[in-house]
Amino acid sequence: MNPRFKAVIFDLDGVLTDTARFHYVAWKKMASGLGISIDETFNETLKGIDRMMSLERILQHGNVQLPLEDKQRLAHEKNEHYKELTAAMTRKDLLPGALDRLDELKGLGVKISLASASKNAPAILEALGISGYFDSIANPALVAHGKPAPDIFLLAAAPLQVRPEECLGVEDAEAGVTAIKSAGMQALGVGDPQVLAAADRVVPGLDVFTFADLFADWP
Ligand code: BG6
Ligand code: MG
């Protein structure tokens, strides 16, 4: 069989593992130290957004202005807290269906790539024991523009020698879906269909479908 897509490019946080929750906990604590309160709805606007830009959004939300030095310190502290929260992660922290879908793609001969905004992504993949599945991992430090710009998805696809239209991007964030569509790829949203309305398809999790079925039914 010739699969509908030659490559599937995954986001990490909130798609393969529930680290989106840990990012939220760490940002919430940092924000509350500044007297800024953030909730789950506001947190949706942080998903997929890189570290410094997320901090800027939180400061703007709380109408707080700080010198660069303080911002760098706060971003560092948030990251240290995030690393503590994720330190004990193992393969059991993969979201339901994640390992099955990675195995399935290997069986189908479809390339697997990672397009995460997180500089912690390589360490998290190691902790989860899934680094070996990836044919490429885009380095977010190398992209000029973070999500919702297409850069990281295009960078993830580059070493695979596939055209954007041959790639399926998988995302839990609105900014991520916009990035996938801007890259000229097809988008599979994982999560809330209202938040991910711009995706070509939305599923509630990786455990409720097979790629074989999904590809067979994809226009
Ligand atoms: C994204 C997350 O994957 O990575 C964001 O959705 C996070 O919440 C961003 O801020 C950057 O992560 P890190 O680990 O480099 O601070
Ligand atoms: Mg995500």
Q: Tell me, using a 6 A CB cutoff, whether residue 78 lines ligand 1.
A: no
Residues 136-193 have pLDDT tens digits of: 999 999 999 999 999 999 999 999 999 999 999 999 999 999 999 999 999 999 999 9
Statement: the pTM of the whole predicted model exceeds 0.85 = yes
Residue 99 has pLDDT above 80, yes or no: yes
Alpha carbon of 186 to ligand 1 centroid (Å): 22
Let me know how many helices (H) and strands (E) the chain has, helices first: 9, 6
Q: How many other C-beta atoms are found inside a 10 Å radius of the C-beta of residue 147?
A: 29
pLDDT of residue 54: 98
Residue nearest atom 6 in ligand 1 by C-alpha distance: 48
Kindly indicate the confidence band of residue 1, based on its pLDDT and cuts at 50, 70 and 90: low
Can you tell me which residue has the tokens 């957004």? 49
Residues 14-70 have pLDDT tens digits of: 999 999 999 999 999 999 999 999 999 999 999 999 999 999 999 999 999 999 999
- Virtual torsion, Cα 133, 136, 98, 8, nearest 10 deg: -120
Ligand 1 atom showing the smallest separation from residue 79 Cα = 16
Q: What is the DSSP letter of 139?
A: -
Query: Catalytic: 207?
Result: no
Alpha carbon of 119 to ligand 2 centroid (Å): 13
Q: Tell me, using a 6 A CB cutoff, whether residue 51 lines ligand 1.
A: yes
The pair of structure tokens assigned to 20 is 């989106």
Can you tell me which residue has the tokens 């939300």? 61
Integer Cα distance of 177 and 28 in angstroms: 24
Alpha carbon of 4 to ligand 2 centroid (Å): 24
Integer Cα distance of 104 and 143 in angstroms: 30
Mean pLDDT of 83-104: 98
pLDDT of residue 2: 78
The sign of the CA dihedral 92, 95, 100, 103 is: negative
pLDDT of residue 174: 97
The catalytic residue among 11, 50, 151, 172 is 11
State the DSSP H helix or E strand holding residue 98, giving kind and residue range, or none if neither: helix 98-108
